[in-house]
Amino acid sequence: MGISGLGSVTVIQLNDRGDPAAFDFTEAGLTMDNAWHDLDLSAIVADPDASFVLLRVLAQDAAPGTTLHFRKNGNANAIAIQGLVCDVASQDMEGVFLVPCDVGQVIEYRASAAWDSIDLAVLGWVA
């Protein structure tokens, strides 16, 4: 039994990056001042048609309440964001996020304060 009334169907594909040998970004390369900053992924995401990136984030901080958020580059509102909140001091927190990117494969991130540890890897992208 098929589904009627859908009209045209758009197929999206998750492009698996493969098996990264290391994390792409760490806390040492990120600005953590509670402001939004660009994160250029164009050297990793080699597809000009990419519309989303799949991120894996592993983070830890001694101060509960510290946040790390991601959003599409150019967004101005706080509705379409996603990220981590440090719930328990000095415990690893992990998240996998599908974040929209712009045509240059750039996203934005905001860290509320200096995290003790952030490891971020691009797992793939949607085109």
Percent of the chain with pLDDT over 90: 87
Q: Are 96 and 84 in contact (CB under 8 A)?
A: no
Distances 121 to 7, 33, 105 between C-alpha atoms, Å = 37, 21, 14
Q: Where are the domains of the chain?
A: 24-126
pLDDT tens readout for residues 79-93: 999 999 999 999 999
Residues near 68 by Cβ (< 8 Å), separated by ≥ 6? 57, 59, 83, 84, 109, 110, 111, 112, 115, 118
CA nearest 97: which of 69, 73, 59? 69
The CA distance from 31 to 122, in Å, is 18
User: pLDDT tier at 6 (50, 70, 90 boundaries)?
Assistant: low
In tens, the pLDDT along 48-66 reads 999 999 999 999 999 999 9
* Residue 1 reports pLDDT greater than 80: no
Q: What is the mean pLDDT of residues 66-74?
A: 97
